[in-house]
Amino acid sequence: MSQFNIREAREQDVDNIFRMLKELAAYLKEPDAVKSTPETLRRDLQLYKCLVVEDLSNGESSTKPLIGYAAYSDKFTMCDGRLTVLDNLFVAPEKRGKGIGTRLLDMVSKDAAANGCNGIEILAHGWNSRAMAFYKKRGAIDVTENKDWHYVQIPLKSQTKMDN
């Protein structure tokens, strides 16, 4: 029997999702990057999709701790049409290497295909070689390498300055 169960997130999962988001940000060496709070994640639950992983290894226990999640949403580009943006993929360190990440990515891919998306967009750090190998083994193409793309952001404050 599988030691984990993946299901759609519910409102009552948000505190646990936030805990994992903070853990992911720390792993990605950006502990201060999280601007969201449990309140904004709860408020915006309609704006993103989230799958959570329940740990079933403690048998019939009624409380099933969450040990991973995938957060994603759809976007549209003129060239690609509909795309799914995989925003976060996280599995608790002690549960890695058991196929959970692969299953999460499979489920995101199936949902994306069912919604008419043409691909999955992922932003990964170059130093995160384990994640890069994980994605490449599952068909990802590194457009930074292949097309010399640069990911740029305009902070809203500078935009306001430009308008004035």
Ligand X SMILES: CC(C)(COP(=O)(O)OP(=O)(O)OC[C@H]1O[C@@H](n2cnc3c(N)ncnc32)[C@H](O)[C@@H]1OP(=O)(O)O)[C@@H](O)C(=O)NCCC(=O)NCCS
94 secondary structure, DSSP code? G
- Residue at shortest CB range from ligand X: 101
Alpha helices in 9-164, H assignment, sequence order: 14-27, 38-43, 100-114, 129-137, 143-147, 156-163
Binding window for ligand X (CB under 6 A); candidates: 41-49, 71-79, 84-92, 109-117: 84-92
Residue 148 CB, nearest approach to ligand X (Å):
20
Answer for which of 51, 117, 124, 140 binds ligand X (CB under 6 A) is 124
The residues annotated with a catalytic role in the active site are 135
**Chain centroid to CA 94:** 19
Answer for which of 1, 62, 137, 150 binds ligand X (CB under 6 A) is 137
User: What is d(CA 79, CA 149) in angstroms, rounded to the nearest whole number?
Assistant: 15
Answer for which of 10, 97, 141, 149 binds ligand X (CB under 6 A) is 97
Binding window for ligand X (CB under 6 A); candidates: 55-63, 100-108, 144-152, 154-162: 100-108
**Closest by Cα among 56, 32, 55, 36 to 44:** 36
Closest CB to ligand X among residues 43, 130: 130
Torsion (CA) 89, 93, 97, 103 in degrees, nearest 10? -30
What is the contact surface with ligand X in residues (CB under 6 A)? 24, 27, 89-91, 96-102, 124, 128, 130-131, 134, 137
